[in-house]
Chains A and B, each alone.
Chain A
């Protein structure tokens, strides 16, 4: 597609902006499983297996002297080196990142070098953490959510109860373009969560449908994105973020019956132009922001408190 380079540039700019305030220490994994040079390859393999990790740094007095990856272990297994000390087979000359460095340094490092993880060190060059692309992705999503919350708090739209201390369930789902096969996964989990907490069926239906509509919107109309569920004792908040193409005219998109869906999407049973209007109708609070070539963010809040349940009966 001709728009791809422009799209990639815009995404890159947006990510750099998001990462601007973050340092590597803000995103790194602090619980690090490190070994000393005398441990065997078998010891490292056991650590990897029991902790579901794919790389273990080797340290000498907290200073990183090497790294053992899954590939190193596989090679050792094939060659019969599993009882050898790690110092014999570890990768040496390991690149490390400083914990005080900006997150953008880590992002550049992953672009520049073919590594899937970097040990992180402090000013004394001592190991303090590990960083992977997953750490970065999660941090960016959280930062995006935090910035959105800050914008809404400033505009007085967010409910005070929606703070992390009150959270009883929170999850981020990756939603892929045209992946109708798994569409509805978040909605199904939201439904289960609310049922388990004894929420009234009518409220559950409203929340599940709103969630499903937003999930399908990402699948059918965007290049992909994320859907975040947040539940506390008073409300459900569903936040959909996608990576574009964005909506040129949000008012038009909010009009019942307006749709840009292709024939193929319509053949799947969607594209009646009811998704966003229906989500707004079901929501106690609703917000949408969109930028062409940038993406769309939609937030839907459904109150769970008894008063809302009563008023809901009259809807």
Chain B
């Protein structure tokens, strides 16, 4: 289990929505997908979700699985409506210009998976 803050820093990710206490949220697993259907199959708590999907349904899906946070990868600019949806759901939302694969590799090292 890791805290969210060092994972966010590792990707130089910028906050779109950072509710109070986001830094101390626990992350048990990293999951990367652009398919909502795949996200919904995750059977674990405290997921850090990486995706390049720019749909507010990502936040609905993250909410129903109880994800710790969402990082939008390969993105420099995020539509404002996503920030609003994240704030409404109370989900920490970040974006990073790093591609998904590189983000996964970096986080994998930090999580001591590779």
Contacts and interface: CB of A to CB of B under 8 A. Distances in A.
A275 B61 CA distance: 13
18 contacts: A180-B57, A183-B57, A184-B57, A188-B60, A188-B63, A191-B63, A205-B66, A208-B64, A209-B64, A212-B60, A212-B61, A269-B34, A269-B57, A269-B58, A269-B61, A271-B37, A274-B37, A278-B37
A187 interface: yes
Nearest to A206: B43
A205 B64 contact: yes
Interface in B51-105: 53, 55-58, 60-61, 63-66, 89
Contact of A209 (B35, B56, B65): B65
Is the interface on chain B under 10, 10 to 19, 20 to 34, or 35 or more residues?
20 to 34
B40 interface: yes
A73 interface: no
A269 B40 contact: no
Contact of B57 (A208, A211, A268, A272): A268
B36 interface: yes
Interface in A185-226: 187-188, 191, 201-202, 204-205, 208-209, 211-213, 216
Interface of B: 34-38, 40-41, 43, 45, 53, 55-58, 60-61, 63-66, 89
A184 B63 contact: yes
DSSP class of A's interface residues: helix, strand, loop or mixed? helix
A209 B40 contact: yes
A278 B56 CA distance: 21
A184 B37 contact: no
A278 B64 CA distance: 14
Contacts of B53: 269
A296 B40 CA distance: 22
DSSP class of B's interface residues: helix, strand, loop or mixed? helix
B55 A180 contact: yes
Nearest to A211: B64
Interface in A259-315: 268-275, 278, 315
A249 interface: no
A201 B67 CA distance: 11
Contact of A188 (B36, B45, B55, B64): B64
A268 B55 CA distance: 7
Nearest to B39: A269
A269 B43 contact: no
A189 B64 CA distance: 10
A181 interface: yes
A213 B66 contact: no
Contacts of A273: 37
B64 A272 contact: no
A98 to B, nearest CB: 47
A258 B80 CA distance: 34
A89 B49 CA distance: 63
Contacts of A269: 34-37, 53, 55, 57-58, 61
Contacts of B40: 209, 212-213, 274, 278
